Amino acid sequence: MKRRDFLKTVGGGAAAALLSGCETERRHAAQKAARTQLLKAQHRPNILWLISEDTSPDFACYGNTLVKTPNLDRLASEGARYTNAFVTGPVSSTSRSALITGMYQTSIGAHQHRSHRNDTHLLPRPIMPVTEHFRRGAYFRCNCAGLNYKQEGKTDWNFMYMTRPFDGTDWSQRPEGQSFFAQVNFSLTQRDFRRDQRNPIDPAKVTLPPCYPDHPLARRDWADYLESIQLLDTEIGVVLQWLQKEGLAENTVVMYFSDNGRPHVRGEQWLYDEGIRIPLIVRWPGHIEPGTVVEDLLSAIDLAPASLAAAGIEPAQYLQGSDFLTRKSKGHKYIFAARDRCDETVDRIRCVRSKRYKYIRNYYPDRPYTQLNAYKKLQFPVLTLMQVLHSQGKLTPPQEQFMAATRPKEELYDLQNDPDELHNLADDRKLRGVLREHSRKLDNWIKSTQDQGEEPEDTQVVAYWQDGMAKSYLEEMKRRNLAPEISDEEYLKWWEKKLLGQELPA
């Protein structure tokens, strides 16, 4: 019966009263359900992710006494410092796609850097961002850009999600008493670097890895990176003060980590430890003994299930990570990572790492490490420096390796004796068993996780990024008043003037 016919039959007043009663009852039921959900979330711990960009564990508490990081050092002293934490991809969007879902980016079609930004690629069911699990657990969800708590923070996921992943930008926007899941994103350690005028680092005191030339430009660039970490530490200190002043510190699980490793030539975009090993510090008052140091192998996909479990939300069965905060956790025997297209540069590399060994498989061994990548050519001065010194025959053998015209199909490193991953032992007969073991583990992982990198990316998508990056390269060189066909020698002079001949803006 239509609504108007019903009203005619029983009389407008009676019908209106009946409908009003039904609406009131439904409204009260909905309000009761909402109150019940809110009560469930109250008194549960808040979960706070502090995420920096492009940061390796180069802090004082990790052994680099040249860097002043009092706030991160204090956080580590109040909780746990993890010494063997790794991301699943050495570039932000793939790593963050895995981080926010608890799934390898290669399993969910998010393995190509900055893919699916303008289409309707959805996560395969039943996979969803961890934010949705928190919503269902009645948590308030927020995401802000550093200390600008009114600005939405970085997401940078390689998939579309049709519902809002966050309720706001700041936890102060939540209903009173509701627990929250918050992300605070810091971009200070991303290029271009900002210098720390209060605590400058003497480039002469910097210790460069042996894969980089000992040159004033390389030292200045490395010092700038370390100073940016000091500025990051200051901002993290402010956020921790917010928690303390608002009386939230004792009931908040704080997790600090980075989206990938160092923004240096052999770091970001590469599967060496410099590109995938990250700092991880967790403080959970009453649950983690202050000053704990954990050497277990951990993967960034463990952060989602651990955070959900800490909040009392049952982690979904499909999650590929594990709760590393439980007392039963012993970490992983192996961790895995993958690199695919980065910007316009097509590549495919996979690695498996145990405590002692790293096995890397290059699927394009005929290509050089230094394939053209506009972002790196524009932002990494040491890349141009190494190209110039290579042409002059002035690089050491460890530095020359990265300038090679081709790559080995397989790389094997003994991390105990060669932490810088400079001596490829893939052809060492004594380690054939180790190589086969790790190669087999990688094969099993590719199969069991349904690595979608087995299928080449659509050529139209690749062409889109190649055209776009070529255009952005020309625009940036024009902005710098440089000819796009400038020689590496002249380009190096420009970098030297920029970094050595004048002060960077504070």
Q: To which residue do tokens 């590469």 refer?
A: 270
Claim to verify: residue 77 and residue 14 sit in the same structural domain? no
283 and 170, same structural domain? yes
Number of domains in the chain: 2
Question: pLDDT band at residue 11, thresholds of 50, 70 and 90?
Answer: very low
Answer whether residue 208 is part of any domain: yes
With respect to residue 278, please indicate whether it lies within any of the assigned structural domains: yes
| Separation between Cα atoms, residue 58 and residue 186, nearest integer Å | 16
Is residue 425 one of the residues assigned to a domain?
yes
Following CA atoms 219, 225, 229, 230 in sequence, which dihedral angle do they give, to the nearest 10 degrees? Answer: 50
Is the same domain home to 209 and 266? yes
* pLDDT of 387 over the 70 cut: yes
Residues 377 and 413 in one domain: yes
In degrees, rounded to 5, the angle at the alpha carbon of residue 345 between the alpha carbons of residues 341 and 349 is 50
Q: Taking 50 as the threshold, does the pLDDT of residue 262 lie above it? A: yes
Q: Are residues 11 and 69 in the same domain?
A: no
pLDDT tens for residues 222-240? 999 999 999 999 999 999 9
pLDDT of residue 179: 97
Q: How confident is the model at residue 160 (pLDDT cuts 50, 70, 90)?
A: confident
Task: Please state, for a pLDDT cut of 70, what percent of the chain lies above it.
Answer: 90
CA atoms within 13 A on the CB side of 13: 0
Residue 21 predicted with pLDDT over 80: no
What six digits make up the tokens of 241? 């003060």
Q: Which two tokens stand for residue 107?
A: 């399993």
* Same domain, yes or no: 280 and 424: yes
For every residue of 133-147, which 3-state class applies, written as one string? Answer: HHHHCCCEEEEEECC
Percent of the chain clearing pLDDT 90 (strictly above): 86
In this predicted structure, the answer to whether residue 506 has a pLDDT above a threshold of 80 is no
Residues 34 and 137 reside in one and the same domain: no
| 398 and 457 housed in the same domain | yes
User: Looking at the structure, do residues 24 and 150 belong to the same domain, yes or no?
Assistant: no
- Here the CATH number for the domain that contains residue 183 is 3.40.720.10
Residues 17 and 128 in one domain: no
The pLDDT tens digits for 180-197 are 999 999 999 999 999 999
Q: Is there a domain that residue 505 lies in?
A: no
In a domain? residue 506? no
Q: Is 129 a domain residue?
A: yes
Return d(Cα 9, Cα 86) in angstroms, integer.
70
> Does residue 376 have a pLDDT over 90?
yes
Question: Based on the domain organization, do 9 and 48 belong to the same domain?
Answer: no
Tell whether the model's pLDDT for residue 121 goes beyond 90. Answer: no
Which domain, by its residues, includes 326?
A: 42-500
Instruction: Identify whether 166 is part of a domain.
Output: yes
* pLDDT interval class at 31 (50, 70, 90): low
Question: Would residue 48 count as lying in a domain?
Answer: yes
Whether residues 124 and 31 fall in one domain: no
Task: Give the model confidence (pLDDT) of 272-313 as tens digits.
Answer: 999 999 999 999 999 999 999 999 999 999 999 999 999 999
DSSP annotation string for 418-475: -TT--S--TT-GGGHHHHHHHHHHHHHHHHHTT-GGGSPPPHHHHHHHHHHHHHHHHH
pLDDT tens per residue, range 319-352: 999 999 998 888 899 999 999 999 999 999 999 9
The answer to whether residues 281 and 253 touch, using CB atoms and an 8 Å cutoff, is no
State the average pLDDT for the chain. Answer: 91
